[in-house]
């Protein structure tokens, strides 16, 4: 970090990732506020590897990834799993697989039932809408900084025969299509919807926190963003009455669900025994720090790099293929994907696609939406350079593997629908015991959706922050990232991270409770 930090500031945001840059952009709407953002990684906003949606799979394991791994998981036959997390401005929003899925109203309602009366669907939804520009219907106004478009080749699905097969196959089983881009209270999120991705439909590039909110923040005179700045700890002073105050300035931790607990523990906030065993002085007892880790589990075939099922497509008649592809060939945002798909079809009479949220033609989403298993992430030493110890304890709750096996079997049956017959060579349906064995041995894989490691819960229930997102026992230390989720969202959590950060900015400014 070549630049010198300003002598004073109103807010220091630790982490210039998905949530941190939202805060910087929104708080700086008040031109009087001096804001500092510290991020451990570099600024790669102009890097084509980051901006190109088709290059996302090449980013994991690079210098732009923290390259963290779990400990061997008993529930996965002692397999370790990688857990990519963005180490660059924009955080994981700049290296992820670009899926954008809104949370379900019922899932957010559960936050309130767990002790957060101010956090309900009706209070979060306006901020979800504020953060994103969804594929526009006629008459809809433009939305927020994050640009979202439909999956390559599907468009809005209205004329795509495979998209219609997808909807029809579900509808014959009682699940109709969702009509709204966002699920509404009362209707929930049950039913089919086309996959949306954080791709700007005008430019065909990734829309991420750095390329959207970050550009806004960089234009503000009183925002200073420091990259390659690895925060070691938060310094505290004790106030009258025993509360702790982060020294001289309000601090907002936005380092993510893996690294926010790490910074807290390095600062002396956590389980006293754990800290003392590592030679760290205890500043504040917080038993919940690093506990409550939740993550999604999904099936992953060996040949499928991002989760889901690999299944074989029947080669369409050339006229049908031309009809499907002609709608999208030459489109600025999907041209590369379209060319890639044409090449695959031309090279072979069959080809595999991802049976997960995107796929080039469609989506077969099988994910354990609300896992019962809970794990942890804790520091392994007092050296800030060391990776934390990540133990999600996948399948430690027996119901998780039962539910996921049933979902896999249902997905196999779905492909046997006559609506898919012109397109898909349906796999044989596997018995549940075999699926469970496969999930443990090779098929079960982790999503990269870790949440809940500094949860917004009552303190007596293991909570770390209250509804104002302040760490219990402190006067000016807040957390704003996925670590505060008391319950993991049903799908990809990035939409919820954006919405929470938008609402958090208003809470910090006194505009919301």
pLDDT tens for each residue of 453-467: 999 999 999 999 999
Look at residue 141 in the predicted model and tell me its pLDDT: 56
Look at residue 117 in the predicted model and tell me its pLDDT: 97
Look at residue 18 in the predicted model and tell me its pLDDT: 98
Look at residue 340 in the predicted model and tell me its pLDDT: 43
Residue 491 near residue 101 (C-beta atoms within 8 A): yes
Residues in the chain with pLDDT values less than 70: 1-3, 136-142, 151-159, 184-189, 301-366
pTM tops 0.85: yes
Look at residue 422 in the predicted model and tell me its pLDDT: 82
CA dihedral 141→147→153→158, nearest 10 degrees, is: -20
Look at residue 154 in the predicted model and tell me its pLDDT: 56
Give the CATH number, domain containing residue 225.
3.50.50.60
Total domains, the chain: 1
Indicate the SS3 state at residue 306: coil
Nearest to 232 by CA among 190, 197, 184, 264: 264
Look at residue 78 in the predicted model and tell me its pLDDT: 97
**What's the Cα-to-Cα distance from 402 to each of 14, 115, 372, 435, rounded to whole Å?**
39, 29, 11, 10
DSSP bridge partners of 446? 297
Judge whether 491 lies within some domain: yes
Judge whether 284 lies within some domain: yes
Judge whether 124 lies within some domain: yes
Judge whether 306 lies within some domain: no
Q: Show the domain range for 167.
A: 11-70+80-298+369-396+447-508
Judge whether 338 lies within some domain: no
Task: Dihedral sign for Cα 383, 13, 295, 304, please.
Answer: negative
Look at residue 192 in the predicted model and tell me its pLDDT: 79
Judge whether 285 lies within some domain: yes
Q: Structure tokens of 362?
A: 């469609």
Judge whether 248 lies within some domain: yes
Judge whether 217 lies within some domain: yes
Look at residue 3 in the predicted model and tell me its pLDDT: 67
Per residue in 215-270, pLDDT (tens digit) is 999 999 999 999 999 999 999 998 888 889 998 799 999 999 999 999 999 999 99
């Amino acid at each position: 970090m070549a630049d010198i930090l300003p002598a004073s500031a109103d807010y220091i945001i630790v982490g210039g990732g998905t949530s941190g840059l939202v805060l910087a952009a929104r708080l700086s709407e008040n031109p009087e506020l001096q804001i500092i953002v510290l991020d451990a990684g570099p600024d790669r906003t102009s890097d084509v590897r980051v901006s190109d949606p088709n290059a996302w799979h090449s980013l994991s394991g690079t210098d732009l990834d923290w390259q963290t791994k779990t400990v061997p998981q008993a529930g996965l036959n002692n397999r370790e799993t990688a857990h990519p997390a963005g180490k660059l401005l924009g955080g994981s929003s700049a290296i992820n697989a670009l899926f954008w899925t809104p949370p379900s109203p019922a899932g957010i309602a559960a936050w309130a039932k767990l002790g957060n009366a101010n956090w309900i669907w009706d209070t979060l939804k306006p901020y979800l809408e504020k953060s994103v520009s969804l594929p526009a219907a006629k008459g809809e106004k433009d939305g927020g900084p994050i640009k979202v478009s439909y999956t390559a080749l599907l468009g809005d699905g209205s004329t795509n025969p495979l998209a219609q097969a997808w909807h029809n196959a579900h509808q014959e089983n009682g699940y109709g299509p969702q009509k709204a881009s966002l699920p509404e209270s009362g209707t929930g999120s049950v039913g089919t919807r086309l996959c949306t991705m954080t791709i700007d439909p005008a430019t065909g590039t990734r829309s991420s926190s750095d390329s959207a909110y970050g550009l806004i923040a960089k234009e503000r005179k009183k925002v200073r963003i420091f990259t390659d700045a690895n925060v070691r700890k938060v310094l505290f002073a004790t106030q009258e009455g025993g509360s702790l105050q982060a020294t001289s300035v309000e601090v907002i931790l936005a380092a993510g669900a893996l690294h926010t607990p790490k910074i807290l523990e390095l600062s002396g906030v956590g389980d006293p025994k754990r800290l003392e065993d590592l030679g760290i002085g205890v500043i504040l007892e917080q038993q919940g720090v690093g506990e409550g880790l939740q993550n999604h589990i999904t099936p992953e075939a060996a040949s499928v790099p991002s989760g889901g099922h690999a299944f074989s497509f029947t080669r369409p008649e050339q006229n049908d293929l031309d009809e499907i592809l002609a709608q999208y060939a030459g489109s600025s945002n999907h041209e590369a994907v379209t060319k890639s798909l044409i090449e695959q079809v031309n090279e072979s009479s069959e080809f595999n696609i991802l049976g997960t949220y995107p796929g080039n033609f469609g989506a077969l989403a099988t994910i354990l939406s609300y896992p019962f298993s809970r794990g942890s992430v804790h520091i392994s030493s007092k050296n800030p350079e060391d990776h934390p110890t990540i133990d999600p304890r996948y399948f430690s709750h027996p119901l998780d593997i039962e539910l996921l096996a049933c979902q896999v079997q249902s997905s196999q049956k779905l492909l046997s629908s006559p609506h898919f017959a012109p397109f898909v060579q349906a796999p044989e349906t596997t018995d549940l015991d075999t699926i469970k064995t496969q999930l443990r041995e090779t098929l079960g894989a982790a999503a990269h959706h870790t949440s809940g490691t500094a949860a917004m819960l009552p303190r007596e229930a293991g909570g770390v922050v209250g509804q104002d997102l302040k760490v219990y026992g402190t006067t000016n230390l807040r957390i704003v990232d996925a670590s505060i989720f008391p319950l993991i969202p049903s799908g990809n959590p990035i939409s919820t991270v954006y919405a929470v950060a938008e609402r958090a900015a208003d809470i910090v400014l006194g505009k919301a409770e």
